[in-house]
Amino acid sequence: MIVLPESRRVKLPDLTLSVHEAGSGTPIVMCHGFPELAFSWSRQIHDLADAGFRAIAADQRGYGGSDAPPDVTDYDLSHLTDDMAHLLDALEIDRAVFVDHDWGGFIAWGMPVRHPDRSLGVIGVTPQHPESELRKAGVLYESATAFRDIFATHVVIDDEQRFVTGQNQNSGHETAHEMMRLIAQQSRP
C-alpha cells in the first residue's frame, strides 16, 4: 500500500494548507487537479524523494485538510498561485519546479507567469494547458502530455538528475531521451 508522508499544517498569510513532504534537494511542488487531493501524488512523492529531490504535495485551498475560504472569488488563479508562492516562503524555499495534473495545470503553468522569480520550471502532466494566457505572457509552451503516462506509473532520476523511466506499458517509451524527442516533435513556438 502506498502512503503519503505524514501531513503538516502550514500557515500562509490568509489560510492554512495541509502539506506532505519527503526528501531534500531541488524542490518539486506537485499541484493536484479536481476532484483530487495531494494523495494523487502518493507514488511520485516517494520516487522523487528517493532520487534526491524535495518533493512537496499540498491539498490546494478548499480540498482535504486545507482551509476552505467561503467566497468563490477566493479560488481564482491569483489566490491559487499566491498560495504556492506563500507556501515556498513558509517552507523557506526560493524557487521550485511545479508539476501539474488536471486542473492543477492552471496553477503550475500560472507560476512562471505570475511569480517568475519563484519558478525553476514546469513539468506539464496535464492533457490541457492555458495556452492562450501563456502565449499572451510570452511563455513558450512545449507539449508534454506524453509525460502523463510516465508520472502515472513510476519516476526514476539518473545520476545526472535527468528524468528517466523504465519501459512503460502504457506509452511504450523507454527513455527520457525518447520522451524529450517526442516533446520536441510536439513543440510549438
Does 184 lie in the same domain as 91? no
Does 97 lie in the same domain as 75? yes
Contact in structure between 142 and 187 (CB atoms under 8 Å): yes
Q: Is 160 left (phi over 0), alpha (psi -120 to 50) or beta?
A: alpha
Is residue 73 assigned to a domain?
yes
Is residue 181 assigned to a domain?
yes
- Helix H segments across 40-173? 42-50, 77-90, 104-114, 131-136, 147-153
Residue 180 belongs to domain spanning: 146-189
Is residue 68 assigned to a domain?
yes
| Residues 107, 85: Cα–Cα separation, whole Å | 11
Which residues, 6+ apart, have CB-to-CB distance to 144 below 8 Å? 123, 124, 125, 183
CATH of the domain at 92: 3.40.50.1820
Give how many domains the chain has, as a whole number: 2
Give the pLDDT score at 101. 87
Does 150 lie in the same domain as 118? no
Q: In Å, how far from its chain's centre is CA 149? A: 15
Contact in structure between 137 and 144 (CB atoms under 8 Å): no
Beta partners for residue 119, in sequence order: 96
CA atoms within 13 A on the CB side of 2: 12
Contact in structure between 178 and 171 (CB atoms under 8 Å): no
Q: State the DSSP code for 55.
A: E
**3-state secondary structure (DSSP) of residue 10:** strand
Length of the chain: 189
Does 157 lie in the same domain as 134? no
pTM for this prediction: 0.70
Is residue 25 assigned to a domain?
yes
> Is the bond into 35 cis (omega within 30 degrees of 0)?
yes
Is residue 1 assigned to a domain?
no
Per-residue pLDDT of the chain (189 residues; tens, 9 = 90+): 778 999 999 999 999 999 999 999 999 999 998 888 999 999 899 999 999 999 999 999 999 999 999 999 999 999 999 999 999 999 999 999 999 988 898 899 899 999 999 999 998 886 555 555 455 444 443 333 334 444 444 444 444 444 444 433 334 334 444 444 444 444 444
Is residue 2 assigned to a domain?
no
| Radius of gyration of the chain measured on its C-alpha atoms | 16
Contact in structure between 56 and 21 (CB atoms under 8 Å): yes
